[in-house]
Homo-oligomer: A and B are copies of this chain.
Amino acid sequence: MKLLVINPNISDDVSALIRTEALRAAAPGTEITVRTARSGVEYIETRLESLLAAPAVSQIIAEDAGDADAVMVAAFGDPGMPALKELVDVPVVGITEAALATASLLGARFSIVAISGRITAWYRECVGRNGLESRLASIRSLRTPLRGIGSVQQDFRADLVRLANEVVDSDGADVVILAGAPLAGLAREVAAEIPVPVVDGISAGVAQAEVLVRLAPGTHRGGSFAAPPAKANAGLSPELAGLLARQLPIRK
Contacts and interface: CB of A to CB of B under 8 A. Distances in A.
Interface of A: 10-11, 25, 27-28, 37-43, 45-52, 54-56, 58, 80, 82-87, 91, 93, 97-98, 100-102, 104-109, 118, 120-122, 124-125, 128-135, 168-169, 172-175, 187-188, 191-192, 194-200, 203-204, 207-208, 211-212, 214-226, 228-229, 231-236, 240, 244, 251
Contacts of A191: 216-218
Nearest to A203: B215
A181 to B, nearest CB: 15
Nearest to A108: B82
A113 B109 CA distance: 21
Contacts of A85: 106-107
A52 B198 CA distance: 28
B223 A196 contact: yes
Contacts of A204: 211, 215
B108 A39 contact: no
A63 to B, nearest CB: 14
B45 A212 contact: no
Nearest to A224: B121
Closest 8 A/B residue pairs (Cβ): A39-B235, A195-B222, A121-B224, A197-B217, A47-B83, A48-B86, A191-B218, A101-B101
Contacts of A42: 231-233
A225 B105 contact: no
A5 to B, nearest CB: 16
Given A195-B226, A235-B10, A25 B108 contact: no
B38 A51 contact: no
B49 A228 contact: yes
22 contacts: A10-B232, A41-B228, A46-B224, A48-B83, A48-B84, A48-B86, A48-B228, A51-B84, A52-B240, A55-B55, A56-B235, A107-B223, A108-B225, A121-B224, A129-B129, A132-B132, A169-B222, A173-B223, A192-B251, A195-B221, A195-B226, A208-B211
